[in-house]
Chain A
């Protein structure tokens, strides 16, 4: 028998490779499927979002410049780290959502496999989405897709791990950096995933994770002038229109998706066409 009091984890934000508390000091309560208290994660503020965007912007140049091979290896490394910590993710998913062990295990398995799938896309997307263009003149002309910059995203409520990875992986695969709001009711998977990221050679600031309320954070994301694009897959449909209206201020590219597809990578890339004369 054990009288030991277990050591509980404090769930914090993940910004620029560090785990700060929200500057606002606000938290909210996360309960288990059975109604028991689990944690007091951060209720991220507008300032937290701004800090995360600063980190993401600073990280973009380096991550964008990293070779596709290197980005692929890091995504694969994230999959390796996640695989090694399966049990913890299965426990947390069961605890928060009340799903069966079989279901929770499947979600973690799918999450690992999805990361591996996107890892393999990093060095193929350019040949898939780019082109050389046979213009009618003495010019060499090609179109290459490249990352947009800083993408903000809202992860779906469920599945809390797989849904999160489905949003994040395609965004960073091309060289974007991301600020993502985790599932509100089930943020544990995302916050524990931050620990996976911290040990995966992912440069600081490439993925920044906030916890909090969608209705609060989404408008701040939409109106932030240094965010280039938004993935609103996890935002309730009733909030899409107002988010798009606010996002029009700097013509953010705003998309939402239902399934894993290379189109998710391409949606957050810009096509750049380069012309050069041919001659002696």
Chain B
């Protein structure tokens, strides 16, 4: 006898999406000139028409941000700035369900994730940073750290509202004003956030949101009126930004790609480890820069782990993101689906062995079944390039030293996982791994108090904690 899950759809009645949106500049919504559609990637339904910001709109947003910086925000006491951030955090909590539904519609991620992870963490980031606003002199940057000015912030589509929070909350707490551009395919929660700023009576121009594509992002990066660029996205674009700002005085933080190793030693607790592997690569459809996309198994337990992993994967539910029982939702865009499909095909062509559980994918929308490749070598593209999808490459190792060498054999260095019951081995491996975040006997955990960011080509700087805050402040000593 088999048990079927009955559909458990979340209601979308809680959101009202306008047919068309403008930009949020100087505290007001301003009509755009050109528009492009944003769609629900699970159904391909057009949700709304989004404005494409050109030079005039970006100029206006920077001007509004500068005015707010000089006349209001940099003059306000930290105590008062903090209270605005607390207000924002509270309103986000109040409207959490609305944000969660909107995020899932626009992004394709399961409602369970947007409801339990993205939105609560976004609110937590504002709550955490609110408390910093009047304590900046304790941030370890000297007795009178100063804000940088106007921050231009460009965020990705994988965690739209959460990435907004990671960027906007520390910037505002430190006394900067911002011009933020959400990703082309996921602008809706940022536009709802603009309403939250209005409800919080945040002074006009402190937060400005312009929507658009890469061309809008380039206008922000190259704008002479901006003092700081914060970008989360691909390493390729990160390098373009690093070159573009080189001749300027802009400070920069970059949170870029990854190809995290998830190392399983033979003394690991296998059942917990299997859960961690699944969470590491299939969380958010694998659209995670720190995803555990390279599984390194110690040879003597490889067979057992793979057997249990495949059993577990048979039970993953792929489908309607609005269903509360769904584990893996839709791929965010057609473009991303093409990229994942192409890299997976390279895995086949280079001789790795592909396996996916039997699952029926919806006909409309963009879907990719959870997939593992075994027999992967370090030379394979699927072991070197960021796939940014639900595709796991499995490699094996014999000695701990070999595991570390394989794990570090990448230009990336964002995150890594270690599974073992032996404390000294975990600490040894954590020390050897060249990555900014190490998850030991856990994976994909995030918190506003916990600095996040990469070594090597995974980026510059940290987000979260005292380290992340310092990226929005001028201290003493270094230029």
Q: Which A residues are within 8 Å of any B CB, using their own CB?
A: 128-129, 131, 133-137, 139, 141, 143, 146, 148, 228, 240-242, 244-245, 247-251, 253, 255-259, 261-264, 267, 270-277
Contacts and interface: CB of A to CB of B under 8 A. Distances in A.
Contacts of A259: 477
A248 B447 contact: no
8 contacts: A247-B242, A248-B239, A250-B457, A251-B242, A251-B256, A272-B437, A273-B438, A273-B465
Contacts of B254: 251
B449 A261 contact: no
B436 interface: yes
A112 B257 CA distance: 43
Given A241-B246, A251-B460, A271-B453, 13 more contacts: A133-B449, A139-B442, A141-B447, A251-B235, A255-B478, A272-B435, A272-B436, A272-B437, A273-B436, A273-B438, A273-B450, A274-B438, A276-B426
A128 B449 CA distance: 17
A276 B239 contact: no
Contact of B447 (A128, A135, A251, A257): A135
Given A139-B442, A250-B457, A133 B479 contact: no
Nearest to B443: A275
B377 interface: no
Contact of B467 (A242, A249, A256, A271): A271
B337 to A, nearest CB: 28
B7 interface: no
B246 A249 contact: no
Interface of B: 124, 140, 235, 238-239, 242-243, 246-247, 254, 256, 411, 426, 430-431, 435-442, 445, 447, 449-453, 455-457, 459-460, 462, 465-467, 475-479
A244 B246 contact: yes
Nearest to A258: B479
Contacts of A250: 411, 456-457
Contacts of B457: 250-251
Nearest to B413: A270
A255 B465 CA distance: 23
Nearest to B128: A136
Contacts of A267: 478
B246 A131 contact: no
B442 A251 contact: no
Contacts of B239: 248-249, 251
B465 A143 contact: yes
Contacts of B466: 131
Contacts of B440: 274-276
A273 B463 CA distance: 11
A179 to B, nearest CB: 18
Contacts of B450: 133, 135, 141, 143, 273, 275
Given A257-B478, A261-B476, A277-B442, A228 B447 contact: no
A275 B242 contact: no
Contacts of B411: 250
A131 B465 contact: yes
A interface, by DSSP: helix, strand, loop or mixed?
mixed
A247 B457 CA distance: 11
Contacts of B467: 131, 143, 271
Contact of A253 (B243, B460, B477): B460
A248 B478 CA distance: 20
B451 A228 contact: no
A259 B439 CA distance: 37
Contact of B477 (A129, A261, A274): A261
Contact of B437 (A128, A137, A241, A273): A273
A257 B477 CA distance: 7
B478 A261 contact: yes
Contacts of B459: 251
Nearest to A242: B246
A257 B479 contact: yes
Task: Give the residue among B242, B450, B462 with the most A Cβ atoms within 10 A.
Answer: B450
B430 A274 contact: yes
B452 A273 contact: yes
A115 to B, nearest CB: 18
Contacts of A256: 478-479
A272 B124 CA distance: 22
A148 B434 CA distance: 9
A271 B441 contact: no
B407 to A, nearest CB: 14
A270 B134 CA distance: 27
Contacts of B479: 255-258
A-B pairs, top 10 by smallest CB distance, nearest first, are: A261-B477, A244-B246, A248-B242, A241-B247, A135-B447, A263-B477, A133-B449, A133-B450, A276-B440, A245-B246
A256 B249 CA distance: 12
B442 A276 contact: yes
Contacts of A271: 436, 451, 453, 462, 467
A247 B242 CA distance: 9
Contacts of B256: 251
A256 B437 CA distance: 27
A258 B479 CA distance: 8
A253 B467 CA distance: 16
A128 B235 CA distance: 30
Task: Give the residue among A137, A245, A249, A259 with the most B Cβ atoms within 10 A.
Answer: A245
Contacts of A261: 476-478
B417 to A, nearest CB: 10
A166 B37 CA distance: 55
Contacts of A137: 445, 447
B475 A135 contact: no
A85 to B, nearest CB: 30
Nearest to A253: B460
Nearest to B433: A272
Contacts of A143: 450-451, 465, 467
Given A245-B246, A258-B479, A261-B478, A275 B452 contact: no
Given A143-B465, A271-B451, A277 B441 contact: yes
Contact of A275 (B238, B442, B476): B442
Contacts of B430: 272, 274
A264 B476 CA distance: 10
A144 B243 CA distance: 29
